Amino acid sequence: MDTTSLLPQNSSRRNFIKGAACTAASFMIVPRHVLGGTGFVAPSDTVTLGMVGVGGKGRKNTEAFLALDNVRITAIADPAYYWNLADFYYRSEAGRGPVKDIIEEKHQVDNSSFQVAEYDDFREMLEKEELDGIVCSTPDHTHAYISLLAMRAGKHVYCEKPLTHNIWEAREVQKVAKETGLATQMGNSGHSADGIRQTVEYLRAGAIGKVDEIHAWVPATRWVPSLRGLPEGKSTMPVNFDWDLWLGPREPRPFHEHYVPVTWRDFWDFGCGALGDFGCHDMDASVWAFNLSAPERVAIRPAGFSNADIAPYGEIGYYDFPAQGDQAAVKLTWYSGGLQPKRPEILPLGVDLPRRGTMFVGDKGIIVNDGNQRIPQMYPKSQAESFKPPKPSIPRSNGHFRDWIDAIQGGPAASANFEYGARLTEITLLGVLSLRMGGQPIHWDAEQMKAKGLPEADKFIKEPVRQDWEMS
């Protein structure tokens, strides 16, 4: 397929984008939750989805939505036809070809003639297909563009974490989500586990007293540890892969195999390192429990080699959140690449910190979560035995994916909706900003969206994009 006509400079594409933006303005008239309002799908109706990005995570998300009742995936869009992901944690095949087969096998059980509409360019999919919502599972650098364009076209949006690649984008996505009233959900799926809800309830109930210290750690590190910058030279292009379209808002460069299909996370132009990958997961309970917003100061230092192009092997640093209301000031320490907090003496013999987890330190004890189910483990045992767990105050989830579908069909907003997701993403990206500034402390002016005294940070707060990929 010749994709030249699908690129942004095409006049019909520009008209579509302008039309989508104008249509979005009309969405402010009727809130989504009003029956028959913007994008409302009756509970008895099938929700029709388009998948944007069907690589490793896109395949996983596709399988999750296919498992739900009242959901039909009718279209997919991805610049790549095929990826062999046997060497990555997905241990599968992905891309348009394999994922199209998965969807058709599922839906042809009920309709033998069913076929998925297949596109290289998601903008053509939005222009031609009748969709209720889209699921964005692309690399970080295209999350905001896709989410904004889809919402302005009247589509409900599920987008992977981090919600955006820079702070300005997070604010813009949050704003448009509020204006349109559409159903949204960020892909930090652990947010919907019972364990994180229980942890938040324990912390709010004072299970370990006043908390002023939090630690969060992940073992994630660089995918290609041998690199000390951008890869040199170029590699043979995969068959049926539109590299220019994959680059999206980024400036053209030679294709190299070190950029795709998963290793793009190593490079600042496309990913956000381990912190960007896991911050919206492993700082989630902290932000939720204590209603954290903008930190006063952030300083995250690279552990191992890093430069202007490539993320470090590991990270360690601090978020300083000010006191607000009844909540005392909190210091959150972030670790990646195998770094961890010191094992607290309060832990019983034979109990070690999990390989990935979060630890809350209060004046009466500690709560430790692992990075999976996040069930609160309280120490010392005497404190755990004397504490009476509160009655559940946070509604339990029907499932991270189900909650978004239910919201589309008039149910309550999904709990990781873009209002919350953008705030959690901005906090995460402030740490990424410090890393990209070589570990310099960021004294954050949230109202002005500025790093005080660091005008050189502006280019990372709102990154430049190439012509015709503008988002405002």
| pTM (two decimals) | 0.92
Distances, alpha carbon 65 to alpha carbons 51, 211, 404, in Å: 10, 38, 10
The yes-or-no verdict on residue 1 having pLDDT over 70 is no
Reported as a pLDDT band with limits 50, 70 and 90, residue 10 is: very low
d(Cα 157, Cα 176) in Å, to the nearest integer?
11
Reported as a pLDDT band with limits 50, 70 and 90, residue 38 is: low
Number of residues written out for the chain: 472
Reported as a pLDDT band with limits 50, 70 and 90, residue 37 is: low
Q: Is 395 helix (H, G, I), strand (E, B) or coil?
A: coil
d(Cα 336, Cα 306) in Å, to the nearest integer?
14
Averaged confidence pLDDT in the chain: 92
The second-level CATH assignment, the architecture, of 194-225+273-396+433-444 is 2-Layer Sandwich (3.30)
How many other CB atoms are found less than 10 A from the CB of residue 89? 8
Reported as a pLDDT band with limits 50, 70 and 90, residue 43 is: confident
Angle between helices 400-408 and 56-66 (to 10 degrees): 60
- Encode pLDDT of 174-226 as tens digits: 999 999 999 999 999 999 999 999 999 999 999 999 999 999 999 999 999 99
Beta bridge partners of 378: 367
The answer to whether 72 touches 49, Cβ cutoff 8 Å, is yes
Beta bridge partners of 369: 358
Q: pLDDT above 70 covers what percent of the chain?
A: 92
d(Cα 180, Cα 40) in Å, to the nearest integer?
12
How many other CB atoms are found less than 10 A from the CB of residue 297? 17
Better-scored residue on pLDDT, 110 or 10: 110
d(Cα 310, Cα 291) in Å, to the nearest integer?
32
Sign, CA torsion 252/254/257/258: negative
Q: Is 236 helix (H, G, I), strand (E, B) or coil?
A: coil
Beta bridge partners of 49: 73, 133
Distances, alpha carbon 255 to alpha carbons 59, 230, 241, 243, 249, in Å: 23, 11, 11, 7, 15
- Encode pLDDT of 145-163 as tens digits: 999 999 999 999 999 999 9
Better-scored residue on pLDDT, 472 or 74: 74
> What pLDDT score was predicted for residue 39?
73
Q: Is 19 helix (H, G, I), strand (E, B) or coil?
A: helix
Beta bridge partners of 331: 213, 320
Reported as a pLDDT band with limits 50, 70 and 90, residue 32 is: very low
The yes-or-no verdict on residue 349 having pLDDT over 50 is yes
Reported as a pLDDT band with limits 50, 70 and 90, residue 446 is: very high
Angle between helices 167-180 and 11-26 (to 10 degrees): 60
The answer to whether 244 touches 464, Cβ cutoff 8 Å, is no
Q: pLDDT above 90 covers what percent of the chain?
A: 88
> What pLDDT score was predicted for residue 271?
98
- Encode pLDDT of 61-115 as tens digits: 999 999 999 999 999 999 999 999 998 989 999 999 999 999 999 999 999 999 9
The yes-or-no verdict on residue 249 having pLDDT over 70 is yes
d(Cα 169, Cα 174) in Å, to the nearest integer?
8
The yes-or-no verdict on residue 263 having pLDDT over 70 is yes
Q: Is 399 helix (H, G, I), strand (E, B) or coil?
A: coil
The yes-or-no verdict on residue 255 having pLDDT over 60 is yes
Among candidate residues 295, 266, 248, the one with its CA nearest the CA of residue 120: 248
Number of H helices, E strands in the chain: 14, 17
